[in-house]
Amino acid sequence: MMHPLPFQNIEAARERIAPFIRRTPLVPLPALRSDFHPNLRLKLENLQVSGSFKARGVFNHLLQLDEAQRKRGVIAASGGNHGLALAYAAWRLGIPATVYLPARASADREQRIAAWGARIFRYGDTWDDAHQRAIAHAADEGLYYVHPFDDIRTLEGQGTLGLEILADVPVVDLALIAVGGGGLIGGVAAALKQARPGIRIIGVEPTGAPTMTVSLNAGRLVELPAVHSIADTLSPRALSERTLDLALRYVNEVALVTDAQMVEAMRWLWTECNQLVEPAGAAVIAALQSGAVDVARYAAPVAIICGGNVDAACVFAGYATG
């Protein structure tokens, strides 16, 4: 089944959400003690409102709801970032919000979501479990379900990130993008490839959650029996037919990185670039450091740092107070 994502729809989403999001920086690397490509640029979505790219897709949803849907409220299931974006956007727009989290979601993320006034429920061990319960809850209360990746409005919103990259680096020839459910890479790749068909799109996902790798290799949607990764926002058991279709059309390859490699990349981003990010946000750097991706032959590569919502309890562990 074909799931088109027209370029003009992504452009319309950009105009729609512009008053509510940040146009995040696309920065060259500082002088480094490393062998990274000298022209590599980082798209810092960790500086986006609510701390990740997810705000783009969420605002694109909520701004198109009718008044009756707004009054009833919205609901989502999330590993953390999508729920935080929903809670923030709903607060900005005066819409009641409910978020389901899996049991393993950190207390820090729950507290951040609650701070924006959303109702929170915990259910199941994984995002997939929370997702099924949230859909049932939505039906029971007549709430609008905002899917984190399997929806055209989500994908159009995430695609606006690609438009920003094109505006800042018109000659971009490679994009490195972390993969969870495929919403980010699907939307961004659709924007980039329609504007620059020769660009290479490389996804990066955890070895413990190779969701896209398995489905692409099979040429069909495959649900993993289990996932295990420190990057919980990159760990659904399956893509969707929509995001798989976009990946088959636009993604050139997918690289795998370990949890240890992502942690090392987090350290590098902090010490070398002064950027504090979550494991998912560091996945693209892990792919470069480990040699899973080689960008030497590209003139203008871009790596998307997709989120910065690292657990504050971990960041400040060991520091004295008072």
Q: What is the pLDDT of residue 33?
A: 59
Output the CATH code of domain 55-145.
Answer: 3.40.50.1100
- The one-letter amino acid code at 110 reads E
| Confidence band for 2, pLDDT divided at 50, 70 and 90 | low
Cite the beta strand spans of the chain per DSSP E: 26-28, 41-44, 74-77, 97-101, 119-122, 144-145, 174-178, 200-206, 253-257, 301-305
For residue 36, pLDDT beyond 90: no
For the residues 60-88, what does the mean pLDDT come to?
96
Pair 285, 309: CB distance under 8 Å: no
Classify residue 154 by burial, with Cβ atoms within 10 Å: 0-12, 13-18, 19+.
buried
Mean pLDDT on 195-218: 97
pLDDT of 127 > 80? The answer is yes
At 319 the pLDDT is 39
Q: Is the pLDDT of residue 312 over 80?
A: no
- Residue 33: CB atoms within 10 A of its CB come to 6
Mean pLDDT of 214-229: 94
Which candidate, 260, 10, 300, 302, places its Cα nearest to that of 175? 302
Segments making up each domain of the chain, as ranges: 7-49+151-313, 55-145
Are 118 and 77 in contact by the 8 Å Cβ rule? The answer is no
Report the topology of domain 7-49+151-313: Rossmann fold (3.40.50)
pLDDT score, position 322? 36
List strands edge to edge, sheet with 74-77: 119-122, 97-101, 74-77, 144-145
Mean pLDDT of the chain: 92
Which pLDDT tens digit goes with each residue over 170-203?
A: 999 999 999 999 999 999 999 999 999 999 999 9
**Is residue 317 scored above 50 in pLDDT?**
no
Instruction: Count other Cβ atoms within 10 Å, centred on residue 136.
Output: 12
pLDDT of 94 reads 98
Q: Do domains 7-49+151-313 and 55-145 have the same CATH topology?
A: yes
pLDDT tens profile 83-122: 999 999 999 999 999 999 999 888 888 999 999 999 999 9
